[in-house]
Amino acid sequence: MKRTLLILLFFAYSISQAQELSITGSVKDDSNQPLAGATILLKTIENDTLIKATISNIEGVFLMENLKPKSYKLEISSIGYAKFEKQIQLKGTTNLGEISMTQSEETLDEVLVEAEKPIVQVLADKTVFNVENTLNTTGTNAFELLRKAPGILIDNSGGIIVEGKAGVQIYINDKPSVLRGDDLQSFLKGLQADDIASLEIITQPSSKYDAAGNAGIINIKLKKNKSLGTNGNMNSSLTIGDYARINNGLSFNNREKGHNLYGSYSNRFGKSTNYLYLLRQQNGIEFDAKTNSVFDSNSNNFRIGYDFFASDKSTIGAIVQTNFNNFFSDNNSRTPIRQIGETSFDSILIANNRSHTISKNLSTNLNYRYSDTLGRSLNIDLDYGKYDRDGNAFQPNIYYGSDEMEILNQNITRQLTPTNIDVWTAKTDFETNFLNGKLASGFKFSSVVTDNNFQFYDIENSIESLNKDRSNRFEYRENINAGYIFFNKKWAKWSFQGGLRVEQTISEGNLSSAQNNQNQTVKRNYTNLFPSGGFTYQLNRINQFAINYSRRIERPNYQSLNPFEYKIDELSYRRGNPFLQPQYTNNLKLSHTYKYKFTTSLSYSHVSDFFAQITEAEGERRNYIMERNIANQEVWNLGISWPFKLQEWWNVYVSLNGSTNSYKSDNPDFQPISQETLSFYAQNTIALPAEISMEISGWYSSPTVWGGTYQTKALGSLNLAFQKKFLDENLSAKIAMNDILYTAPWRGNTRYGNLYIQGQGGSDSRNIVFSLSYNFGSQQIKKARDRKTGLEDESSRIQ
């Protein structure tokens, strides 16, 4: 029956295709050799609307099918050649024969093709994941989307790994995110993937970027628009996992001759689940902790921007962004405790923790840009960001006997953790033509003030009393002064880019508490040089080689310096480290691109003073996790990416990364680890009958290492999505099924000194999503101006 149905569908599809017309041809260069990779566009003559796009194959041949009989305009373009245009009156299947291209007399720095972008573009300085052309983004959010991006892994704590390294910086529309850690995850989970145009993965940023980020930069580009007028998009999705949750979004753009007003709003509300199981052995005692959590969040993100075009050369702009997150956590933890080797439990700890966190974040930017026809440009940014977070956690710790009937003892506590952070930055960038190349320079000043007040209360007979011995206040100030110079030039088949950045960091941390702690004030003043550079060689039209080097720094997150205690229960918690030092990375990368598609790369990185995630015993029963500069890391990574077309109706993208991570330390308690990891991502986009699109995608990671200490097992995910468009393609309906086999949860183990932990955890990643998206207004709106702001390294270090 299934075979019969497939045969009928195939014949129905073949008959429908037989009623359509096609155009074919062969593209040659000026020496009459086949021209591979040329872009062929078919447009309407009336309004220049794109009808179909394709590229020529290795023999220079192209084919466009499923066309209606009418008049078209054909455009053929290729880097270094003048555009070819021809009007065609299509009445039957047409063979245009050989089409000769002539070399362009102009050197092009950038080629803009008005066509559907491929899923993945591999460029000289970055890899671009074009999200708007994928279906498995249906109803997902920005955080979930990162897991699906090529070459990116998400570890068991939500950390982002690129080419085997942690410490990536997140940017939104060329400017850094204002959040980090839990707040960044909440923001990204409230940002719908339907609002995202692409992800840019920049593993070797130049000296024009802040030196922060061991693994480079991930730039999330939001959707923009393209001409005079007004348009926008509305979307909504329902995700059904263990609970239901909803994402909604609205974006608009209004552009007139003298100004441009644009903005967006998105939200996320509903419940999700999480589990964390930790089997711990310490001092001859076994603790089998199982924590199941329900999270209820209401996240709202708002962004509005305005550009005033003062003249043809000058633009003044302003952006205001806000994020409000109301987050409830209900954690039910049960920990049987017994002596190792015994069959009966000594006691059972029940800790049903309830917490409520409210975060309010505001960032503003004022920008001036000047650009003339002589290649000179000046960009000035003034920024201010304010980030407030109030946490309230109630935790009853009740010890029962082995039958869970008799209460042995109890310890009930509450922690109030208000955090306030203010960030000021000012930066200027200047660029001009110099020695037949481009010379750029700039300066930046930043000031950060954080105030963290940890209030610990003991509760007895419903009466709360402040425990001064466990309460503290941590204040931190930091100034970074930076300057850079950057030069790039192209000649013949070579191109060069190189630069030097200098950054001075002045910081002071003050810890106030009733305890007589040593080194309550930590002052630092250090200056670092960060060189970067690389060469690109175009051997011929289908082979390009590149080699790049950069030195990077990863400063501790402000909250990582904060000695607050974040508890699972009274036996397990996380603690900040005010004495954490920056870690430094040297990166070297060699890459080869074949036919502008097939890319292989080999990279090496050495990280000194690595932020190792150490789980350490405290006393007989307690343990805590803390970041410490206790190891060095070496990473070798071999990457392969290949977008290709099996059939006209079947597009495939494959990304493969193999890496070796080695962690070494002089500390005898640290266990040296060396781990080979293979990560894989594949995506198939298939055009079905009735104008339905199907996408099958999946990712896989073999065993790896988290935080330099946790050895985790293999994990992955298989996803399936369908899309149907209506109303002249302005309305799209999607359905997606994520983590179908439920293989995304993690498992792993760690050992430090006399402490051993075997753990596992996950969320309701297996879910089904229904989504609707509607485009309104003119769809040819000139895009709102993309620009960076000055809140770069500073804002991205906020947790």
Q: How far is the C-alpha of 706 from the C-alpha of 724, rounded, in Å?
A: 40
- Per residue in 650-704, pLDDT (tens digit) is 888 888 889 999 998 888 888 888 899 998 888 898 999 988 999 998 889 999 9
- Provide the pLDDT for residue 308: 93
Contact predicate 768/734, CB 8 Å: no
Residue 6: pLDDT over 60: no
Taken in order 489, 494, 495, 497, the sign of the CA dihedral is negative
pLDDT of the residue at 566: 66
Tally of CB atoms within 10 A around 372: 12
d(CA 471, CA 415): 9
In contact, 209 and 235? CB cutoff 8 Å: no
CATH class name, domain 19-202: mainly beta
Domain ranges of the chain: 19-202, 236-246+262-797
Distance separating alpha carbons of residues 144 and 165, to the nearest angstrom: 19
Given phi > 0 = left and psi -120 to 50 = alpha, else beta, which region is 16?
A: alpha
Which of 290, 403, 280, 270 has its CA nearest to residue 352?
Answer: 290
Which residue in this structure is represented by tokens 């200047």?
430
Tens-digit pLDDT profile for residues 431-453: 999 998 999 999 999 999 989 89
Distances (CA, A) of 43 to 46, 153, 227, 450, 602: 9, 40, 18, 56, 40
User: pLDDT tens across 548-566, in order?
Assistant: 999 999 888 766 777 666 6
Q: Is the pLDDT of residue 229 over 50?
A: yes
Residue 581 predicted with pLDDT over 70: yes
Q: CA–CA separation, 589 vs 599, rounded Å?
A: 13
- Mean pLDDT value across residues 34-56: 79
| 624 touches 572 (CB < 8 A) | yes
Nearest to 304 by CA among 365, 257, 358: 365
Give the number of residues written for the chain. 799
* Contact residues for 83 (Cβ-Cβ < 8 A; gap 6+): 75, 76, 77
Q: What is the DSSP string of 618-679?
A: ETTTEEEEEEEEEEEEEEEEEEEEEEEEEETTEEEEEEEEEEEEEEE-S-TTB--EEEEEEE
Q: Which CATH number fits domain 236-246+262-797: 2.40.170.20, 3.40.50.2300, 3.40.30.10, 1.20.210.10?
A: 2.40.170.20
- Kindly report the number of other CB atoms within 10 A of residue 300's CB atom: 16
CA dihedral (365, 371, 377, 378) positive or negative: negative
Range in 371-375, 620-624, 785-789 the model is least confident about: 785-789
d(CA 425, CA 253): 28
Query: Residues 709, 715, 716, 717: is their CA dihedral positive or negative?
Result: negative
The structure's pTM equals 0.74
Query: Please, which pLDDT band fits residue 140 given cuts at 50, 70 and 90?
Result: low
* CA dihedral angle for residue 366, residue 367, residue 368, residue 370, rounded to 10 degrees: -170
Q: Kindly state the average pLDDT of the residues 346-368.
A: 93
Helix H or strand E encompassing 9 = helix 2-18
Q: Residue 320 pLDDT > 80, yes or no?
A: yes
